[in-house]
Amino acid sequence: MTTRRSNDPIAAGARHAKAQRRVGQDARCACGENRSQALIAGRERSICYECDSRRLGKTTMETHHIAGEANSPITVEVPANDHRAVLSEAQYEWPPSTLRNVDGSPLLRAAAALRSTVNFLELFTRWLTSITELLERLDSWLRKDGSVWWIDSPFEDWRLK
């Protein structure tokens, strides 16, 4: 289950379940990636899109239509796994009228731009959250023998004065 609020949790749950079924139960790439949308279905050994690209000597980045193809031709390069597991998944949550914008409504284009920004912020939030968690765990690991690790270290300048 994603921690993000979904407008249609039942449809989101079905997408997640289908993706999970396609790649098999407990599928996980050797790199640790276990988001089913980021794994390639039908492989003997589970592999994620980024590792597969790396294996083939290709770039691990994919182009993402930030506001949806119907709203803007602008694309950005994003890591393949996040593209599939986060950004594309997030666009499923958009109202279909905004994502498809059949007649090119300027207001819907603007809405799409804002929605894509929100999606990116969510992605950044996840990255930043994972970095903060890493820092906190590292700090606790360095203190495990009771030492104040930053004394006499190159990091001493960062301590609270």
Partner 1 sequence: MRQPQPLGLAIRVFPQSARSRRKRPRLKRWRRPHQLLAFDCEAQPDTALALTFGCYRYYEHGVCLEEGLFYGDDLPEADRSVLADYVKDQVADTDPHRGVAQLRLLSRRAFLEKLYTVACKTRGLVVGFNLPFDLSRLAIGFGTARGGRFSGGFSLLLWEYQDERGDWHIDKYRPRIVIKHIDSKRALKGLTATKDPDYVDLIPDGSKTGKPDRSKKFRGHLLDLRTLAFVLTDRGHTLASACKTFGVEHSKLAVEQHGIVTPDYIDYNRRDVLATAELAFKALEEYDRFNVPLQETQAYSPASLGKAHLRKAGVLPILTRLPGFSKQYLGYATTTFFGGRTSAHIRKVAVPVVYTDFLSMYPTVNAVMGLWDYLIAQEIEVVPNCTAEIEEFLRTITLETLFNPKTWLRFPAFVRLAPNGDVLPTRAKYSVESNDYQVGLNHLYADDCEEGLWFALPDVIASVLLTGRIPKIIDAFRIVPRGQLPRLHTIKLRGTVTIDPRSQDLFRVIIEERKRLAFNAALSVDERKRLDKALKVLANATSYGIFAEMLREESEQKVGVTCYGLDATPFSCRVTNPEEPGEYCFPPLATLITAGARLMLAMLERCVTDLGGTYAMEDTDSMAIVATEYGGHIECPGGPYRKDGKPAIRALSWKQVEEIAELFRRLSPYSTDAIRGSILKIEDDNLDATTEQQRQLWCLAISAKRYALFVRDSSGEPTLLRRGVNNNEDRYSEHGLGHLLNPTNPESDDRSWIAQVWLNIVRRSLGISTKPLGFEKRVAVGRITVSSPRVLNSLGALNVGKTYAQQIKPFNFILSCHVAKLGHPVGVNPESFQLIAPYETDPRQWEQMHWIDQYSETAKPYRISTTAPHGSRTVARIKSYGDVLREYEYHPEAKCVDSNGAPCSKQTVGLLGRRHVAIDSISYIGKESNRLEEVEDQSLQAPCDVYTEYPDPRRDEWATKVLPMLKTMPLRELMERTGLPRSTLQAIRAGRRPHPKNATLLSRLLVR
User: What is the binding site for partner 1 (CB under 8 A)?
Assistant: 1, 3-11, 13-14, 17-18, 21-27, 41-42, 44
Q: Which is nearer to partner 1, 22 or 109 (CB)?
A: 22
Distance CA 34, CA 156 (A): 37
The answer to whether residues 63 and 76 touch, using CB atoms and an 8 Å cutoff, is yes
Q: Which is nearer to partner 1, 41 or 74 (CB)?
A: 41
Q: Which of 111, 91, 106 is nearest to 15 (CA)?
A: 91
Q: Which is nearer to partner 1, 66 or 90 (CB)?
A: 90
* Shortest Å, Cβ 142 to partner 1: 32
* Shortest Å, Cβ 3 to partner 1: 7
Q: Which is nearer to partner 1, 44 or 157 (CB)?
A: 44
Count how many Cα atoms sit within 13 Å of the Cα of residue 13 in the half-sphere of its side chain: 3
Q: Which of 81, 114, 109, 85 is nearest to 97 (CA)?
A: 109
* Shortest Å, Cβ 41 to partner 1: 5
Q: Residues 6 or more apart from 108 whose CB is under 8 A from it?
A: 71, 97, 98, 101
* Shortest Å, Cβ 47 to partner 1: 12
